[in-house]
Structure 1
């Protein structure tokens, strides 16, 4: 959680002037994280609600077009630590296709370093720390021979403005995530991924068909489907089940409609890691912990 954003959100909810301004943009663009991210991108203050209010009212003419054109796209490379135990166990080599890829930082699980407690794996890129319980840590990195992403609004990791937007979406208190983002962006910029602007239902089959023969196709997504209308979500899950290869999802349990899950490890918010629709583990949102289901 972000105490800074909690204070701001409470202040905004009680501010009639800011609410009136937000009412002038389409409803999907009134997300708190979107407004807060845009203000930060434009250099506005977030530590003090009064200063935030003054900036927002004075700079609304600059804020409004950014709200209309941008989207929340948290590209958290730390989630690769959640994918690695599954990816490393699949038949190699792999062809990775990420749905909701943003700038594609999740497409490089073979080039990051992982630390599961005392167990360390890899030697490049950012170090991704993950507390893993209920299973043994993976012992190898995946062999990735093809990587591609699909997104309604793909970002370019070689574009400083796009990277700045990704940084603005990280909660103010999370400096470690900003450092991790920069390190992951450097990895991706050295070998930019193929990113296609498109819809997760209409455009997925054509992109999946480009995966090379002899590689295991893995379609995956992390914290994406909650933004997709229920009918399109159902169409996507039906489609991805029929594709060759495997499907990895990391989504909130209510989004996927899982039944009969054991209790989560603690009272924090958790997602569920699943392979081909079968739940495997409880996971934390930024990849900081996972607990295998027993």
Structure 2
């Protein structure tokens, strides 16, 4: 939109003049991502794409930095991923690179199953007013400023940005940012009900989802809690596993279902 173009030009001008402001405020990383995902998932779903966001358990939640600029970078990268992907999925993965008592370096990766980028174009991607080629500009539009601005914002936040891509195979844009960690005494009281995960160790759980990435992310989370985990990629396969488990007198206690699957869904 015209407003996006104007905002990009203003941000780029401020960066070039060294006058771009970055806030340092307390924020909750997971709450920030949850609210952002509500918007980004709609964009993906409007194109029939699966949208996945996974934050590793070891990533700290209560940080100090600029959540607005973080949202700007993620929105730009996910927006590009949706723009250049016609089928498949967009996956956002958040992991911890390193931490000490006062700071945490967080790694964000946005992967897609889109058109990808040829090797000879990657080196110039982060230059201002640059896109993969002229045909991209004609077909998809854009100023060619988004990646350049995002990369500079990451550097201002103490991090880096890069990309792994192959033409026709999709892309993974990644970036890091360094945040201060909130002192425990300053962290807000949580209204989330704490579950004694240790008391559930060994519980048998079946995860049912037709999307392989979703199953992989669920497996990682469930294994970190020491659950006995199994998976199925369809409703039919899930019923077969449930019946077999009952027959063997070792039933699943919990089943996690995708509500929308081909053939037989979770409803």
Q: Normalization by structure 2: what TM-score?
A: 0.22
Q: Higher strand fraction: Structure 1 or Structure 2?
A: 2
Q: Normalization by structure 1: what TM-score?
A: 0.21
Structure with the larger RCO, 1 or 2 (CA within 8 Å, 6+ apart): 1
